[in-house]
Every structure is written in C-alpha cells, then in structure tokens.
Chain A
Amino acid sequence: MQLQSSSYKLNNQATATTTPVETVQNWLIKQLAEQLRLDPASIKLTEPFTRYGLDSIDAVTLVGDLEDWLDLDLPDTLFWDHPTVEKSAKYLEENYDLADAVSNIESEETVTETPINETQDNNNDKKGWGNLFGRFK
C-alpha cells in the first residue's frame, strides 16, 4: 500500500529496487494520475479504475497504451476483467514474462517516448487537445 507514494517518482530510474510487477503498477498509477488529473498518491492499488472516473471505453484504450509500453499482445478486456491496479498487474505477472518485457522497456523508453511527452508537459495548463491547432495559427 505504501508503494504508490514511495516509488512512484522512481519510475524513470533504474528498476533494480522495484520488481516487474511494481514497475507495471507504477506505470498504471502514473497513467491514471496524468490522464485523469489526479494526485498519484490518491490512487489506491485495490480501488476499481472506474472509481477514478475511467469509463469503460477508456479502459479499453488504456490496454492499448499498456500493450505499446510492454510490447505485448494483451486481451482487450484486460482492465474490465481485472479492474484494479493490483489485480491487473497480478494477472500480467501470472500470464506473461513481465521481467523480460520490462527489461526491454528500459533501453527504448528514453529514445522513443520522451520527445512526445516533453511537448505535452509544456502545455499542461491547456486542457486536452488545446494545442491541437497551434500550427495553423
């Protein structure tokens, strides 16, 4: 339970101190916090995703993000069938080689994902797709 508050910020650092399951949990908490504009510390491992305002279709979209991040093929109803951070991470641990998937991320993440995220963060004051039409102005 103390996991989300203590290790959340360690996400980009070496995961030597965190297990693959914890890495996945941290990623989920980070995603939920960013997308739903919540304090990561307020997200509990055992609380259903829907309690935080993630609706049924968004939960499907989130599977796509997780697939992308882990480079795995996952069931499209993953977060419907395992509707908490804890349950979904556990399901992944039991059914996939998470250690392998997580180790592959470490090498790629900074190269591909960071540039896009950097530009997003600069526009955090604008909601959603606020910067979408910037290039036309």
Chain B
Amino acid sequence: MHQLKQYWVAERLDKDLGDPWTPENVMSFKQVVEIDEKEEFPHSEIEWLYNWKLQHYYVPAECGGEFTSFEEFLAFVRVLCRRDQTIGIAFTTLFWSFITWMAGTEEQKQQLAQYIKNENGAMCLGYSEREHGSDLVGGDLTAQKVPGGYILNGEKWPINRATISGISYILAKTDPEGGPKCLTLFMVDKRQLNPDNYYNLPKILTHGIRASDMSGIGFKDCFVPDSMRIKEEGDGLEFALKGFQVTRTFCAAFSLGAADTALRTTLNFAIKRVVYGKKVIDIPQPRKVLVDAFLDILICDCETIGAARGFHIIPEQFSVWASVTKYFVTTQIETMINSVYTVLGSRFYMREEHDWGIFQKVLRDNSIISMFDGSTVVNLHALMLQFRQLTKQRSRRKPEAIADLQKRLEAIFSLEQPLPSFNGEKLELFGRGADDPLQGLEIALQQLEAFKETTDTDEEVLEKLIVLGNLVLEELNAHDELIANSKFEYGHDQSPELFEVAKTYCTLHAAACCLQMWLYNRTILGDFFAQGEWLVLSLHRLLRTMRPLPYSISDVYVENTAQELLKLYKEDKLFSIVPFQLAHSPINEDRSYATSKLQLQA
C-alpha cells in the first residue's frame, strides 16, 4: 500500500474491481462499452459498489459515515472513472448529499445517512430548467406555502439520475417577485410523495454517457412537508451556490479518471504498434505528445489535489478556487484527450477494434464534464467578477499576513500533514480577494532561491525553475496591472477579452499549484517527483500558452519523463504525482498490431 494512507481506499477499490482489460471483471472495458451500447442504466454494477460499501465514503464521519477527506474522495472517484465515467457519475450523484451535510437539520442528516448507508439510497440535483439553463433565479418551478408544507408545480430538466434516485434536491421559487431570495431548496424524498402528483420525464438520448439516467422530474400540485425544506425560505440560492463550490471542484476527479484511461489505452497501442520499422512510442513526435499528456495530468493533479486539501484549510476561498479548478482541469483534460488521439490514429474512432473501443467512449463521455455543475462560461464569469478584489488583496499583503499565508500553504500542499475536518459553514459566496496559491507565489520563489544553499536539487533544474517561476510572477503582475487599470462592469455582458484574461489567470493558478506542490513534497513522492524535471517542463508548458518561448526547454527532461511514464504503465500505477498501485494487468507483451515481418525490421 502507498505510504500515504489517504490513498488506501482508492487502491483497495481498484484492486477489488480488478484489471479493466480482463473482460470477465466487473466494469471491465468490454463490459462498460456493452453497457453504453445498450444505453441501459448499469444497475448491477452500481449495486456492486453499494455492496462494497463505497456509499459510506460519501457520508461524513460526524454523520456516521466514513468520509474524512476530499483528498481521499478524489482518489477513489478517479479510479472509478478510469473504468467508466457513466458509472462514476451515476454513483457520485450521491455527492449532492453535501447540501444536507452542510445546511440540513440534525434530523435531515440522520435520515439521509440512514438512507444512503442502509437502503442503497441515491440522490439527484434538480436545478436547471428547459427554458432557463444556468439562470437559476429565472426558474419557473414554484413552491407555494400551505399549512405544514408547500405545493410544488413545474419541471426540472435535464437531470442526471432524475428517475432512478429516491431523493431530488429541488430548487423552487417561493417568492414570485423574484430576486436573490426568491428560491428555496427542498430535499424531496419521492417515497413520501403522492405518486399522482409527480412524474419522471423520458430518458434523454445523449452524445456520451449513454447508459445514464439523464432525464427530468415534474410536479403537479405536489405537496411536500416542511421537513423537506433545507434551511429557511429564501435561502435556496445561497446553498445552491455553496454546494456548487464543493461539487464543481470534484468534477475534476471525473476528468482525471478519464485522462488515465485515454493515455493508458493509447500507450497500449503505441508500445506495440510498429510503423516505418519502429514502434510508435519510439518515434519522436508521438513520444512528445504522450509526454505532454502525462504532464497535463501531473499539472491537473497539483491543481486538484491542492484544491481537495485546500477545502479543509481555507473553505472561505472556494468561490475562487472551485471556479479555477472546474474550468482549468476539465478543459485541460479535454484538450489532452483530443491530442493523444492523433497517436492512436483512426482507432480512436472505432467502436470495437482497439481495447473494445474504450477510447471513443472516453472521448464522448468526458465531453460533458466541463459543461455540467456550472459550465466553463459560468465559472470564468464567476471568477472575473472577483478580479478587482483579488488584485487589491494581493497589492495589500502585509508581512504578518504573508507569514500566515505561508503556514496555510504548507498545511494545504504538504500531503503528509493531517487535515482538519471539512467545515461547510465556512463557505462564502465571494472570497474577499483571497487566493492563497497565487498570492503565495513570491514565498515559493524565495524558497527556491534559498534552495541554492540548502538542497541537493540539480543546479540546472533549480536555475530553470527560478527563471520560469519569475516569468509566472511577471505574468501575474501584468494581470494585476491590467485589472487595476480597467473599468469594472457588472452583469453578463462581459467582454470576450475578459474571458481570455480569466483563462490566463487559471493557467497561472495551476502553475503556482505545481510549484507549491513540489516545494512541500520533494522528500515523500519518489525520485521522479523530487528531481523536478517534470516541474520545469510543466511550467514551460503552461507559460507557452501566454508568451513566446522556445519550443523545447530540455530534450533530456522530456526523455526522462517518457521513461517515468513507461515505468508507471508497465507497473500498472496511476499516472499521477501520487502514483499508487492499480489492479495488475496481464495484457503487457502478449499482443501486437504489427506483422512479424515488421517486427523483425524493428
């Protein structure tokens, strides 16, 4: 088992699920592709997970469950989604229970914990409506107050697991006048409703995640008791938005799971396929594409694992950090998957030819992640509204505040440090300008400078890190200058240029997270991580999107990173900064896409 205990649940789950390339195993690639083709909800696979008691890890320890840290949660959702995002997403709608853990009464929490742990309960989220999309306040589903409860009327659509789940979190309009306090959130337990007063909308045929229960729910004069209301009337939007801070961040887990499979199945091909007398993996261009894909995963790891831990330390900053992670990781992985298919060639498009067509399924399934729980546009918009505050806060940092910031950074990024319990009551709708990873950039640069005297880090690596780190700082300063000298605008008619500025901010944020992650974990994550060559390549890769830089910074580092990628592949370890052991795969070495003649030439 990995030395870091928070990865044990994921390791155990992956081992018990077994190698996904072995067709007989539950959730093998062969099976999940068949499920997808049939477009039928994967009941028996979900049941397998309940029998494994995975649902207990969605219930906080203080409510009688096993959930203790988001870092642990991230890791097991990731191994689930490396097999199948459809099942991963279907099971993980359980995560919406966070609304109750955060804002529910003691009684609501107890009922929900019982329902999840002992009755294999599931939930879904009914926020969006056919006519209104992301405009929650514009919704038409109403809840009219009557003695003892409310009467619901209207429809929510589209909703993942709307039909096959017992509890729906429904956002309803209690004040017809509108405004930010017009919405109230209900934890609607379908089993307590009169079946004549609600109905499920038909399954929606979708591009990917085809076996999902993507549908909707409608209410017609449906009575729900007061006990199903979350907090008070009018508090709906506040808890909807705070709940999104939690779930948006962990959409990154879905993406990272898909990324592992996209890269691994492509390696299966590139390592055996021979063209022009060489294995694909040994041809420079595809080799570089695969290394870049690996770097993308490492970069997204630093951003996501940092965020998962950050939730326990600085929940009040997550109106910013959740938006950054949701935007950056999901789109970076989408692009990465689109890049590696050039290596896989036409097989990326085939539905049975290579590894049962898992790649084309990953490509389709994964494309919803950047859209749901708040789209790319919604996240960038939420971020840009906070830019002035972020810029002001950064310009005002005082020495004593910087000392505190350094302590928080260590608590967040040092994976060996134990995490305090998550406190959802500390979530805030805006972050008051705080963004620790980026605002601690100068601290990180000072630490790098100090390393010149104190560590055995390779001199050349350190020098490159200092140069690149200072370029990140230059870009951040330029960003702040831009914001300080521009006019602020409310509303949704923000300029398209500002969306690009927001994307750049997210890229800088990821660069800062990579630096911080390396600084605090050099002694515990193995030699490859410690040497820091991957970090040089990662910072270079991120900076190249915003300023002209030479194409390559070191061919030697690229080659060493390729060697690490191949090592993890051969040892069946997760492509990650924490490369824990996956289920062992028997597929290495025994199949070939090349004719024997071609192999002789090679």
Contact = CB atoms under 8 A, between A and B. Distances in A.
A35 interface: yes
B482 A57 contact: no
A76 B392 contact: no
A127 B497 CA distance: 13
A35 B488 CA distance: 8
Interface stretch (B147-155, B343-351, B381-389): B381-389
A36 B497 contact: no
Nearest to A63: B430
Contact of B494 (A59, A67, A80, A129): A129
A131 B388 CA distance: 15
A119 B386 contact: no
A54 interface: yes
A129 B385 contact: no
Interface string A68-81: 10000000110111
B278 to A, nearest CB: 44
B319 to A, nearest CB: 8
A71 B392 CA distance: 13
B385 A119 contact: no
B485 interface: yes
A64 B391 CA distance: 13
For chain B, give the interface size range: 35 or more
Given A61-B430, A68-B389, A35 B490 contact: yes
A54 B492 CA distance: 10
Interface in B455-511: 481-482, 484-495, 497-498, 501
Contact of A58 (B238, B485, B490): B490
For chain A, give the interface size range: 35 or more
A60 B430 contact: yes
A64 B485 contact: no
Interface string A39-72: 0000000001010011111111111110110000
Contact of A128 (B389, B429, B493): B493
A16 interface: no
A130 B495 contact: yes
B359 to A, nearest CB: 38
Contacts of A79: 180
Given A55-B137, A58-B491, A64 B180 contact: no
Nearest to A120: B487
A128 B495 contact: yes
Contacts of B482: 132, 135
A65 B386 CA distance: 10
B454 to A, nearest CB: 39
B489 A127 contact: yes
Question: What DSSP secondary structure best describes chain B's contact surface?
Answer: loop
A61 B385 contact: yes
A36 B488 CA distance: 11
A36 B490 contact: yes
A76 B137 contact: no
Contact of B180 (A56, A116, A132): A56
A68 B489 contact: no
B432 interface: yes
Contacts of B498: 128-129, 132
Select the residue from A59, A61, A119, A131 with max chain B CB neighbours within 10 A: A61
A58 B179 contact: no
Contacts of B497: 129, 132-133
Select the residue from B178, B392, B429, B432 with max chain A CB neighbours within 10 A: B429
Nearest to A51: B179
B237 interface: yes
A134 B295 CA distance: 34
Contacts of B491: 36, 53, 55, 58
A119 B429 CA distance: 30
B433 interface: yes
B238 A132 contact: no
Contacts of B388: 64-65
Nearest to B178: A50
A88 to B, nearest CB: 13
A59 B491 CA distance: 10
Contact of A54 (B237, B389, B490): B490
A56 B486 contact: no
B430 A81 contact: no
B89 to A, nearest CB: 27
Contacts of A126: 487
A83 B180 contact: yes
B180 to A, nearest CB: 4
Nearest to B378: A57
A64 B178 contact: no
Nearest to A49: B179
Given A58-B491, A64-B433, A129-B498, A116 B385 contact: no
A120 B238 CA distance: 32
B387 to A, nearest CB: 10
B490 A61 contact: yes
A80 B238 contact: yes
A21 to B, nearest CB: 23
B180 A50 contact: yes
Given A48-B179, A50-B179, A129-B497, A68 B485 contact: no
A116 B485 contact: yes
A9 B432 CA distance: 29
A132 B495 contact: yes
B428 interface: yes
Nearest to A124: B487
B237 A132 contact: no
A64 B430 contact: yes
Nearest to A130: B495
A132 B501 CA distance: 10
Interface in B553-575: none
A76 B490 contact: no
10 contacts: A48-B179, A54-B490, A61-B386, A83-B180, A128-B489, A128-B498, A129-B486, A129-B487, A132-B482, A135-B481
Interface of B: 137, 178-181, 237-238, 382, 385-386, 388-389, 392, 428-430, 432-433, 481-482, 484-495, 497-498, 501
Q: Nearest 7 CB-CB pairs, A to B? A: A56-B180, A128-B489, A80-B180, A58-B490, A76-B429, A129-B495, A120-B487
Given A64-B386, A83-B179, 9 more contacts: A35-B489, A55-B137, A58-B385, A64-B432, A79-B180, A80-B180, A83-B181, A128-B487, A128-B494
